[in-house]
Amino acid sequence: MKEHIAELIGVAIDTLKQQGVLPTDLTARVMVENTKDKSHGDFATNIALMLAKQARCAPRDLAQKLVEALPKSDSVTQVDIAGPGFINFFASSETINAVVGQILAQKESYGLSQVGAKQRVQVEFVSANPTGPLHVGHGRGAAYGATISDLLAAVGFDVYREYYVNDAGRQMDILATSVWLRYLELSGERLEFPSNGYKGEYIREIARKVQDQFGQALIKSAKDVFDGVSADEPKGGDKEIHIDELIAKAKSLLGIVNYEGLFDIALNDIRWDIEDDLAEFGVRYQKWFSERSLTRGGDVEKSLKLLQDAGHIYEQEDGALWFRSTAFGDDKDRCVRRENGMTTYFASDIAYMNNKFERGFDKVLYVFGADHHGYLPRMKAVCQALGYPLEKLDFRLVQFAILYRGTERVQMSTRSGSFVTLRELRDEVGNDAARFFYVSRKSDQHMDFDLDLAKSQSKDNPVYYIQYAHARVCSVMRKLAEHQWQFDAALGLANLDRLDSDYEKNLMTALARYPEILENAALNYEPHALALYLKDLSSEFHTWYNALKVLEEDEVLRNARLTLSDAVRQVLANGLGLLGVQAPEEM
RNA sequence: GCCUCAAUAGCUCAGUUGGAUAGAGCGUCCCCCUCCUAAGGGGAAGGCCGCAGGUUCGAUUCCUGCUUGGGGCACCA
């Protein structure tokens, strides 16, 4: 309908050009918007205000001329000029009603589009280090990444979801060493657990699995392990040096084969746990991309060579290699290979990005936690240094959620190992509430996540409110049978003109907005827009439902209202599905 | 010190390419089931859109400065 009105305006503009009222070289983008106030009709355009200057003409006069030049249309019943020069359009009831038939015909595909034109988009999200279970901060990234991926797919993009597994590097060594030390404790050794080690209870569980698999084979005396290792921080030493020396001890005492065996048990255990956790949360990936595969496959060396050949890498006296990211606006240059010959995590990041581009994606999207925002300049620098246009790259930052129980803030602490995990959150409030709450706010804003509200089964809780609207329609459909009635959609659709109340008109207008909401939410990576829309639609529905009876004696009216109910149900189901939330038939 | 995101009703937040009288929900106050799920609905009150300038027909929206908060950065992923 908006397109139709824009076309009408376009014709009117051309006519005025021919009449010499408007300059022929004038270009205008006609904007048609939904009106907020019903007295302003159904659609409005500010075109006269925008063109007034170029036309050397008062806005209202220009609006008058445009209206006079407007071609006739069956869909438009009335055109007004209002305010400083807005042109308001009133749509015919047939035009407004038409959406109901559309929805019933298109069912789950109502709202989908092809604006993405099958462009290939790669989305990387969560990518938390496999050093422990996901916590509630990761949960928001997971819900957000999964939802924008699904939204993009819904509007015609070819979406490829990836989780980058940091399965190489120091953090993983710390994990493996932590597991080993707990294993030694289980075996009866008494030792001082390093302050920088991973202390969560899950480490002990993994240690028991190591015991199952290796038996006594990995036992060394605590005396041998700590012999020659410098002091830990609480005893006046440096905790980083302390843990690094313990890692070295683990490798030398166990030998490379046993060490890697231990390492892999820890890695796989946590990775499976994360994968399982996310799957239960309705989050699935096309690929779990291993960092080790980049190192071992030579991708890291290859991409560094690429940058080196392009002159973006320099070597310092100590032998370390640096990427000149300052040439692309970064604050400082970045080390890619340390003096000890080890490549940095950043070197892997470069290799991974290069790998993504080589796979030919049209768009590469990173969803980061907000604490990683300092990464953006260097990532953009890499993109340019590799010779790819920045337009292919996109970043979205997800802020952390702060948990509350009512008004009381839930304390979280990663250090003590007593953080709130995503799994704990899901167990407490359920997947539906968690998925919905996470994406119901703009992603780059902090959000307060009220656990009590998320659990409450009342109208205060938007998830239940929306789900209840869906269940209500289903309930009405079930009630039909009790009256020995049947839903006659054809009869209803043929008599939509019986739905002449403002309640019903508002509902249909809301239904008609869905495809546009969906498209904007997807293209702007803003799932909260869809969440808000579903709440609004539910509200319109409840208002109508409360005011007018669906199961009327009058068969024609009854079926007309049933078609509208079913259309609402369908759109709610479609929208909730995209948010990863169930649409229950009864509650 | 630099970067970044924010600042809208008592609270939590919308406001998408600059538009008409700035919107929801909660909370407060009032009201509505002999009726399809009251797990719902209606109404009232509540605002210098952080402050000060600028751009123009018009600014909550764009630009600059300031104030106040969140977060990040000092070969650590």
CATH number of A51's domain: 3.30.1360.70
Between residue 517 and residue 546 of chain A, the positions with Cβ below 7 Å from nucleic chain B are: 520, 524, 526, 528-529, 532, 535-536, 539, 542-543, 545-546
A481 touches strand B (CB under 7 A): no
Tell me whether residue A466 is in a domain: yes
Residue A245 lies in a domain: yes
* Structure-token pair, residue A169: 């590097």
Q: What share of chain A is helix, strand, coil (3-state, %, to 5)?
A: 55, 10, 30
- Whether residue A494 lies inside any domain: the answer is yes
Any strand B atom closer than 7 Å to A221 CB: no
Picking from A252, A275, A298, the residue at the C-terminal end of a domain is A275
Answer whether residue A82 is part of any domain.
Answer: yes
Closest Cα to residue A429, out of A418, A419, A438?
A438
Q: Give per-10-residue mean pLDDT for chain A (587 aa).
A: 85 84 74 79 85 77 87 88 86 90 96 94 92 88 94 96 91 93 95 89 94 95 92 84 92 94 95 95 95 91 94 88 88 87 89 95 90 85 91 87 78 54 90 92 83 84 92 93 91 94 90 92 92 93 92 93 96 96 92
Q: Are residues A76 and A175 in the same domain?
A: no
Residues 95-154 of A with CB under 7 A from strand B: 129
| Nearest-angstrom CA–CA distance, A369 and A563 | 44
A72 with A176, same domain?
no
Nucleotide nearest to A528 (CA to C1'): B14
Q: How far does the CA of A529 sit from the C1' of B16, in Å? A: 10
Whether A472 and A569 map to the same domain: the answer is yes
What are the beta bridge partners of residue A408? A405
Bridge partners of residue A32, in order along the sequence: A45
Exposure of A190 by Cβ count < 10 A (0-12 exposed, 13-18 middle, 19+ buried)? exposed
User: A556 to each of A96, A210, A486, A493, A500, how far by Cα in Å?
Assistant: 19, 70, 12, 10, 13
Has residue A26 been placed in a domain? yes
Domain stop point among A224, A252, A275: A275
Q: What is the pLDDT of residue A372?
A: 83
Q: How many CB atoms lie within 10 A of CB A555?
A: 14
Could you tell me the two tokens for A458? Answer: 């009342």
For chain A, the domain total comes to 3
What is the distance in angstroms measured between the alpha-carbon CA of A453 and the sugar C1' of B47?
A: 27
Looking at A70, A91, A112, the residue that finishes a domain is A91
- In a domain, residue A106? The reply is no
Are A83 and A179 in a shared domain? no
Q: What is the CATH number of the domain that holds A546?
A: 1.10.730.10
Strands A43-45 and A86-91, how do they pair?
antiparallel
For residues A467 and A574, membership in a common domain is answered with yes
Does any domain span residue A376? no
Within a domain: A506: yes
CA distances from A382 to A134, A324, A328, A449, A549 (A): 29, 9, 9, 36, 62
What is the domain range of residue A213? 170-275
